Amino acid sequence: MASHGKESDTAVEAMVAQVEKHPISSILIIIAMQTEALPVVNKFQLTENPHSSFPKGVPWVHYHGTYKDIKINLVWPGKDLTFGVDSVGTISASLVTYGSIQALEPDLIINAGTAGGFKAKGAGIGDVFLVSHLAFHDRRIPIPTGRLSTGDSLDMSPQDEASITANDATVKDMEGAAVAYVADLLKVPAIFVKAVTDLVDGEKPTAEEFLQNLAAVTAALDQAVTQVVDFISGKCLSEL
């Protein structure tokens, strides 16, 4: 007789296979910062949901609407309750991804946001990348290599730089790999769209360049997210 664990795995696999045969009807967009999120909210004419089913007390903000017969939910983590700044980083991204999957049950996740780029790898300000692989660069353990490297700091320490180089990363962010970890854990496919605000290996200070380019680059980001959703419209997961 099969064990309970094996029966559960089989049921999940069957459910995933069934979902892959139907057109995508629900997308969850996860974005870390309000400045990044609002252009996408406006682009898809989403409205804020003041009565979300998220855990009581979390500052997460939920927008929803319909675009080309696809139900779109957009969630950003909101403002830190202590410091009043955007709740960026891997911990917040992991919690929001988990809570949103449980509450909203999406067919597909899109993690969109800004990132630092590496001039040595051909990245330029305003470039938008559809990410192929992800990795954490501040975990001091062996990890698979990736094109997007994720950590909890805007700047880059020598140890981070060594990991990022080993990962062969083109862009560096603070949420992507965390979203990927939770999405993979809960068997929800995910797409990662990252727009470059600053060059990590450039001449300008990272924070200065990031703030200087943030508004313009978020405009490019919302265009890229729209293109991705337009491409997805009418398709099944197996066709992506």
For residue 148, list its beta bridge partners.
Answer: 134, 171
pTM of the model: 0.83
Long-range contacts from 50-59, C-beta under 8 angstroms, 24+ separation: 52/103, 53/103, 54/99, 54/100, 54/103, 55/99, 58/95, 58/99, 59/87
| 3-class SS of residue 190 | strand
Domains of the chain: 22-239 (3.40.50.1580)
pLDDT averaged per 10 residues in sequence order, the chain, 240 residues? 57 61 93 96 96 92 97 96 89 95 97 94 94 73 52 64 76 89 94 94 90 94 95 92
Which pair of structure tokens corresponds to residue 81?
A: 């309750």
Q: Which of 77, 34, 31 is nearest to 195 (CA)?
A: 31
Residues 182 and 94: their CA atoms lie apart, in Å, by: 6
> Dihedral sign, CA of 218, 114, 153, 100?
positive
How long, in residues, is the chain? 240
The whole-number pLDDT of residue 159 equals 73
Active site residues: 36, 198
